[in-house]
Amino acid sequence: MLSPLEKLNKFLELEREQNYENRAVVGGLDKAVPYWEKEARAFQLPDDLISFVVEKLQEYPRLTPEQRRECVHQIYAQIESCNASTKPMVAETEPTPAQSRGVKLSERASIATDAPVETEQHILRTLQTPLHRVSGVGKKTAEALEKLGINTLQDLLYFFPRRYDDYSRLKPINKLKYGDEVTVLGVVQAIASRQVRDGKLQLIEAIITDGTGTLRLSWFNKLWYVNRFPKGTQVAVSGKLDMYLGKLIMKDPEIEEIDREQLHTSRIVPVYPLTADLNQKSLRRLMYRTIMQWAPKVSDFLPASVRSSLKLLELGVALSQAHFPDSQDVLDQARWRLAFDEIFLLQLGVLRQKHSWKSLQARVFDVPDTWLEQKLAQLPYELTNAQKRAVQEIRADLVSGKPMDRLLQGDVGSGKTIVAALAIGMVTYHGAQVAVMAPTSILAEQHYRNLSRVLTQSDESTLPILQPEQIRLLTSDVRGAEREKILNDLQHGSVKLLIGTHALIEDPVQFQDLQLVVIDEQHRFGVAQRAALRQKGNNPHLLVMTATPIPRSLALTIYGDLDLTVMDEMPPGRQPVETHVLHPLERERAYQLIRHEISKGHQAYIIYPMVEQNENGEHLSVVQEYTRLQQEIFPEFRIGMMHGKLKPEEKDEVMAGFRDGKYHILVSTSVIEVGVDVPNATVMLIEGANRFGLAQLHQFRGRVGRGSEKSYCLLIPESDDALENERLSVMVETNDGFVLAEKDLQQRGPGEFLGTRQAGFSELKMANLTDVHIIEKARQQAQLIFQQDPELSLPEHTLLAKKLGEFWRNGRGDIS
């Protein structure tokens, strides 16, 4: 694409060649004025240059050829003088008029008609141009950008600033205070490096001044700064103010050379994420060119009805304002619009997915009331109301004639297993097969034992749901003849319930008639794995279970394609786990409690955030602490160690050892988190508790308090930082997983809840899944559109359909 100056040059050049016949632009040079002016303004060419050119071009048709020649020369002269005096941001990469004068004849055809023939199709295609073919992007820049995941022109438009420096709200150095996070402008007064720590590190120190005072800056190992920011360089530095020997200092600030235009062209300046091979200034210049040239051409895929009902900015405007905002207010609007787009597309995709799944047919599994009543009467307890509701919902799904697609969400210990068992019973009642998939062998084994117990029990009045030999466990440990037999029996239909790990989705596993798929701790599985298991049957019903409480706003967004059952009630008689936050110096008290509990025959977990210490030795780690605990603290006890670097078999062995009482204490990283049941464990000690999210801490806590004995959860943060302790104290106040999840979402964002369900989420650049307001609006609009036009086949939805396909292209194939 040509910049406005390049275009102008071409027009003038053509005119010269054609003896000033006013034919360079179809209909005359004056016809080019409106769009040229618009582009020139977008490009921020100097105002006086623009008005000069506009005036000259407008009078051009009325002039004699001789006058026209004069006119062309005047314009050239004006451009050149402008170039000499000011240097607009884009000028550096612009060819000067002299350079581009030699326009070839072969290029003529496109010249006169350049802007008007750019059809939507053309622009859409151009936006997919690979970066290295975009003008102004060098090979090295393209490579560096590709490392950041930016491969096309469109990616570049959506490569948003990490933050903005608002130069209108700068603080002078003499007004800075300890703790401020600021951007300061100044001139480098001195910069030097010296070796510290026996020559292991280079300390770079600089002093900048802005006339009101001086500020000291320091970095480690950034030796090249000394040359890059020599004395006299105008810089902007951003960072947090610290104190050293009674003086303010900025440690490891971001620093950048600035020039006058930067301050004048936009007071709010974008700061982009960088890699080593990119520099902020040239990247910003590239973005500026790209945005000014392309953002106005991007067609808006949002139907006008959506845009107007929510008063959303036009897409092109939103894009340019998100990069180079005119004001904070417009920036907010731009970000809102772009965030809305993302959630809206996500929602629309989710609705479409659900729609396509629901349009399939599934077998009906009806059971008589008496059957259900008998099964319930057989249980040693009465179901909670939440469990009853879940059973009813599943029962209704199974007779609906459409595949069930249900997420059963219930806190640890809420009793999901029995609900799943009843669902299994309803399907096997008709002789069909069921698969249950769990993320680890130990969990699969646990399900195998629990489900076998529930499903095979009988008394004088009722038959068991299944016979023991109809239930089989398949993990990677099951090999040889045993495996062969299981696979064979499965294929012939004599095995009705197969429980296992991802071994279930492997090729040789074939069902005779798979009709229900149950997946536990679903966030541990990728969408592809779930789909693979589902494909082993013919539109089987699907029940996924999770113990991770997910805030409602998020559940609707992420799992909008699943029907949601929340079990928000615990079976009666559970003792809440007594939770304490301990000061790091009170560790010995925790050890005493562990000793005391073990003396009563109980067991304990100790969790650490790290497997091994990092170089600085700052954080407690499993490997180091295991040795210390075993040698110095608990020499009299047997301690097991568990972490993610162990092989799966080793992990299972340690876990089984702990379950079977071989170890008194299990030290572990967070790998322990997922639903393992050791009712004899009564203490959960979590070191470095500040490094975990509340939802995750809650999962750890759920490992204890599973028996009838009183249990304890002890949280020790790395330091007694007040804020952390306040955050952790929420754990003391509530046992409600949803409350904690909600807090987590506010404090730490949605990362913890997404797990492997990434489809579409990698596309979220602007949206914050904690923003319930946007989520609600986007859902409403998506639903409206979907109701009107589920296939998006109306003409006003063509662009939207395209965009939707693009948005989901990475993550499609999920059919659950």
State the residues that interact with ligand ADP by CB under 6 A. 381, 383-384, 387, 410, 412-418, 547, 571
Buried/exposed code over 315-350 (b: 16+ C-beta within 10 A; e: otherwise): bbbbbbbbbbbeeeebbebbbbbbbbbbbbbbbbbb
| Cβ proximity to ligand ADP, 250 vs 390, nearer residue | 390
Q: How many CA atoms lie within 13 A of 372 on its CB side?
A: 17
Toward ligand ADP, which CB reaches closer, 183 or 446?
Answer: 446
Interaction partner, residue 414 (Mg ion, ligand ADP, none; CB < 5-8 Å by kind): ligand ADP
Residue 418 contact, options ligand ADP, Mg ion, none, Cβ 5-8 Å cut-off depending on partner type = ligand ADP
The string of DSSP letters for 274-309 reads --TT--HHHHHHHHHHHHHHHGGGPPP-S-HHHHHH
Instruction: Identify the CA nearest to 805 among candidates 126, 348, 292.
Output: 348
Residue 187's binding partner, choosing from ligand ADP, Mg ion, none, with beta-carbon cut-off 5 to 8 A by kind?
A: none
Which of ligand ADP, Mg ion, none does 565 bind, CB closer than 5 to 8 A by kind? none
The interface partner of residue 410, options being Mg ion, ligand ADP, none and the CB cut-off 5 to 8 Å by kind, is: ligand ADP
* 239 or 439: CB nearest Mg ion: 439
Our CB check for ligand ADP shows the closer of 416 and 483 to be 416
CB closer to ligand ADP out of 545 and 716: 545
Which of 781, 810, 695 has the alpha carbon at shortest distance from 351? Answer: 781
- Which residue, 547 or 620, is less far from ligand ADP as judged by CB? 547
Nearer to Mg ion, 549 or 675 (CB): 675
Question: Please, what is the minimum distance in Å from the beta carbon of residue 416 to ligand ADP?
Answer: 4
274 vs 383, which CB is nearer to ligand ADP?
A: 383
Contacted entry of ligand ADP, Mg ion, none for residue 156, CB cut-off 5 to 8 Å set by kind = none
In three-state secondary structure terms, 628 is helix
Coil, helix or strand at residue 611: coil
Nearer to Mg ion, 267 or 416 (CB): 416
165, two tokens: 């420096």
Distant-in-sequence, close-in-space partners of 604: CB < 8 Å, separation ≥ 6? 594, 597, 598, 664, 665, 666, 681, 682, 683, 684, 685
Cα 26 from chain centroid?
49
We find the least distance from the C-beta atom of residue 367 to Mg ion, in angstroms, to be: 23
Distance of closest approach, residue 342 Cβ to Mg ion, in angstroms: 33
| Structure tokens belonging to residue 354 | 């659900």
How many C-alpha atoms does 563 have within 13 Å on its Cβ side? 16
451 binds, among ligand ADP, Mg ion, none (CB under 5 to 8 A by kind): none
Which residue's beta carbon is nearest to the bound ligand ADP? 415
88 binds, among Mg ion, ligand ADP, none (CB under 5 to 8 A by kind): none
CA distance 148 to 756: 21
**What does 413 interact with, of ligand ADP, Mg ion, none (CB < 5 to 8 A by kind)?**
ligand ADP
Instruction: Answer with the entry of ligand ADP, Mg ion, none that 755 interacts with (C-beta below 5 to 8 A by kind).
Output: none
Shortest CB 500 distance to ligand ADP, Å: 17
Q: How many CB atoms lie within 10 A of CB 211?
A: 10
Residues 6+ positions from 783 with CB-CB distance below 8 Å: 347, 351
Q: What is the dihedral of CA 109, 112, 115, 119, to 10 degrees?
A: -40
Cβ 665 to ligand ADP, closest distance in Å? Answer: 23
246 C-beta neighbours (distance < 10 Å), count: 5
On whether the CB atoms of residues 389 and 418 are closer than 8 A, the answer is no
Nearer to ligand ADP, 79 or 547 (CB): 547
Query: In terms of CB distance, is 320 or 699 closer to Mg ion?
Result: 699
Residue 313 contacts residue 333 (beta carbons within 8 Å): yes
For the CB of residue 519, give the shortest distance to Mg ion in the complex, in Å: 12
Minimum distance of Mg ion from residue 675's CB (angstroms) = 5
Cβ-based nearer residue to Mg ion, 408 or 582 = 408
- Closest contact distance (angstroms) between CB of 583 and ligand ADP is 32
Integer angstrom CA distances of residue 220 from 192, 197, 199, 214: 12, 11, 12, 20
Cβ at position 176, least distance to Mg ion in Å: 54
C-alpha to C-alpha distance for 443 and 435, rounded to whole angstroms: 14
Q: Among ligand ADP, Mg ion, none, what does residue 415 contact (CB within 5–8 Å per kind)? A: ligand ADP
Q: Minimum distance from CB of 450 to Mg ion (Å)?
A: 8
Shortest reach from residue 758's CB to Mg ion, in Å:
24
| Nearest CB to ligand ADP, comparing residues 163 and 710 | 710
State how far the Cα of 321 lies from the Cα of 333, in Å rounded to an integer.
Answer: 9
Per-residue three-class SS string for 28-84 = CHHHHHHHHHHHHHHCCCCHHHHHHHHHHHHHHHHCCHHHHHHHHHHHHHHHHHHHH
Nearer to ligand ADP, 582 or 697 (CB): 697
Judging by beta carbons within 10 Å of its beta carbon (0-12, 13-18, 19+), is residue 601 exposed, middle or buried?
exposed
Query: Is-contact 547 419, C-beta < 8 A?
Result: no
| Residue with smaller CB distance to ligand ADP, 285 or 416 | 416
Task: Provide the minimum distance between the beta carbon of 387 and ligand ADP in the complex, in angstroms, as a whole number.
Answer: 6
* Sites of contact with Mg ion (CB under 5 A): 675
Q: What span, in angstroms and rounded, lies between the C-alpha atoms of 474 and 484?
A: 11
Matching residue, tokens 């953002």: 295
The residue (of 493 and 571) whose beta carbon lies closer to ligand ADP is 571
Give min distance, CB of 158 to Mg ion, in A. Answer: 41
Q: Hey, which residues does 215 pair with through a beta bridge?
A: 208
> Taking the complex as a whole, how short is the minimal distance between the CB of residue 455 and ligand ADP, in angstroms?
13
Residue number, nearest CB to Mg ion: 675
Residue 357: partners with Cβ closer than 8 Å, 6 or more residues away: 403, 405, 561, 815, 816
Q: How far is the CB of 383 from ligand ADP (least distance, A)?
A: 5
> Of 384 and 781, which has the nearer Cβ to ligand ADP?
384
609 binds, among Mg ion, ligand ADP, none (CB under 5 to 8 A by kind): none
Residue 100 near which of ligand ADP, Mg ion, none (CB within 5-8 Å, type-dependent): none
Calculate the alpha carbon distances from 187 to 241, 438, 669 in Å.
Answer: 18, 61, 48
Binding partner of residue 412 among Mg ion, ligand ADP, none, CB cut-off 5 to 8 Å per kind: ligand ADP
State the binding partner of 470 from Mg ion, ligand ADP, none, CB within 5 to 8 A by kind.
Answer: none
Assess contact for 440 and 642: CB atoms under 8 A.
Answer: no
The nearest distance, CB 680 to ligand ADP, in angstroms, is 13
Closest distance to Mg ion from the beta carbon of 529 (Å)? 19
C-alpha distances in angstroms, 19 versus 13, 23, 56, 93, 740? 10, 10, 17, 30, 78
Residues 6+ apart with CB under 8 A from 136: 93, 286, 289, 290
Could you tell me where the DSSP H helices lie in 106-192? 108-113, 120-127, 139-147, 153-157
